[in-house]
Amino acid sequence: MTERPDKLNNQAILLANGGEYYEAIACFKRAITIQQNNYLLWYNLGITYRDSGDIHNARLSLEKAHSIAPERLDVLETLSTLCINDEDYVAALGYSEDGIDLAPDNSSFWNLAGVALFNMEQYSLAAEHFEQALCNNPYDENALYNLRDTYKELGVKL
């Protein structure tokens, strides 16, 4: 029986959902040896590494997914979020700006860019990004909370 990348991917997802990260990673790696340029395999490998606590390999895998499919918004959003959590705000801002270029109406990318800017203490720019996120989606609670915190830093009275 020939191994198929899609079957290995599905098996790996089941394993990862059950908390069996090392087994899932092994499945993804096997699938990647069969189909090296499948962004989804690299993306899922990155998510599994992240969930297992291995941020370094998560980022490497997600960057590989991004190099294969630079237009994928899910990859960019995950990379930006991962970089923010890893306190690499410059990289997070870059991935968020790439997302904004591809999907200017996507409030998540505006919010993530704002979070990166806020953590870089560029509060005025952060406020502009949070405001744009809310223009795109007035129900984006994360952007609303982040904008409120940014206004406090700027001394804006609410």
Q: How far apart are CA 128 and CA 131, in angstroms?
A: 5
pLDDT tens digits for 94-151?
999 999 999 999 999 999 999 999 999 999 999 999 999 999 999 999 999 999 999 9
pLDDT (mean) for 3-28: 94
Q: How far apart are CA 148 and CA 143, in angstroms?
A: 9
Helix (H, G, I), strand (E, B) or coil at 125: helix
Q: How confident is the model at residue 81 (pLDDT cuts 50, 70, 90)?
A: very high
Q: How confident is the model at residue 31 (pLDDT cuts 50, 70, 90)?
A: very high
What are the counts of helices (DSSP H) followed by strands (DSSP E) for the chain? 9, 0
The kind and range of the H/E element at 129 are helix 123-136
Say what the pLDDT of residue 1 is: 55
Mean pLDDT of the chain: 96
Helix (H, G, I), strand (E, B) or coil at 144: helix
Q: Please state whether the predicted TM-score (pTM) of the whole model is above 0.85.
A: yes
